[in-house]
Structure 1
């Protein structure tokens, strides 16, 4: 790993750390943080590889955005989460951006299920989604349900990004 790529990873993880703290405190990810990250990610790509790097950064951004936008459209996450994943993509190659986005979705499922289990609401949650599937209609969660509480998805994005950056399949 080159010093340039290590610096980019440190900056990316620092930005993600700030996003997580803000998301946990206020359930918001500031647009200024996203814009700063987009600029730094694209600038780093240009510095590392010139015009090709810019192409990689823009494509990585589009991949992160495209993978997450359906979840926003379905009401499963907030716009800040989509923008944060797009920002992450600017720091990565297109392949790594896709990996980070998919692993972040998996991490979101794991974190979400963990919260449901910790709060002892597995049966209630399964019943709720069974009703949604069988009635093919949306039922708003009750006040005491985990499904009705804000979910700091930036934690899942950080987790998925870390796994995509540092996990290498055995034998490679």
Structure 2
């Protein structure tokens, strides 16, 4: 990996996370432009093989979060951000980064849900879950009941932070950051 790729990856991820925290959106110029720069860096590093790596990483990154997007659990910018990171990380490492991001997101969501329930009288999701489980057991068909606006599970958070944390941890674990903030 060329020396600029780790710095570029961290810059892309953390600027996106900051934008998501600040304005609850990640701009297209950052995600799509980030993917283009990732492809260019991969091609500078490995020629036409870099193009293949970047394209496969983009596809895997997008596919990991696509179910969450289709279920309205994540936004389109989250899908595009992980796909853009995939152009730099490649398919194998973006797969690990994607699942790491989902785990980090789950921890953040549990923390937010716990704090929200402790701070105010938000409605608990357990009744809704029981109705979904009862429907499944009686009819044999799964049903999804979306959370009400005042339910704790309706609370949204900037998922780009989870992506930035998950991808940064994955890159550090895989030794892809070189000397940037990682000591052997």
Q: Common fold, TM-score beyond 0.5?
A: yes
Large movers: runs of 4+ above 6 Å? none
When normalised by structure 2's length, the TM-score is 0.81
How far 1:29 moved relative to its partner?
1.0
Q: How many residues align?
A: 165
Aligned position for 1:130: 130
Aligned position for 1:76: 73
Q: Are residue 139 (structure 1) and residue 145 (structure 2) matched?
A: yes
Flag structure 1 segments of 5+ consecutive residues without an equivalent: none
Contact 1:27–1:150 (CA under 8 A) maintained in structure 2: no
How far 1:123 moved relative to its partner?
8.6
Aligned position for 1:59: 56
When normalised by structure 1's length, the TM-score is 0.86
SS at match of 2:156: coil
Bigger mean CA offset, 141-150 vs 35-44: 141-150
**Alpha carbon RMSD of aligned pairs, Å?**
2.1
Flag structure 2 segments of 5+ consecutive residues without an equivalent: 136-141, 175-184
What is the distance in 1 between the residues matched to 2:145 and 2:94?
34
Aligned position for 1:101: 98
Bigger mean CA offset, 106-115 vs 142-151: 142-151
Contact 1:116–1:125 (CA under 8 A) maintained in structure 2: no
Aligned position for 1:48: 45
Aligned position for 1:111: 108
How far 1:103 moved relative to its partner?
1.0
How far 1:139 moved relative to its partner?
3.2
Aligned position for 2:162: 156
* Shift in CA distance, 119/41, structure 1 to aligned 2, threshold 3 Å: same
RCO higher in 1 or 2 (8 Å CA, sep ≥ 6)?
A: 2
What is the distance in 2 between the residues matched to 1:140 and 1:94?
32
Contact 2:124–2:152 (CA under 8 A) maintained in structure 1: no
* Shift in CA distance, 133/24, structure 1 to aligned 2, threshold 3 Å: farther
SS at match of 2:89: coil
Larger Rg: 2
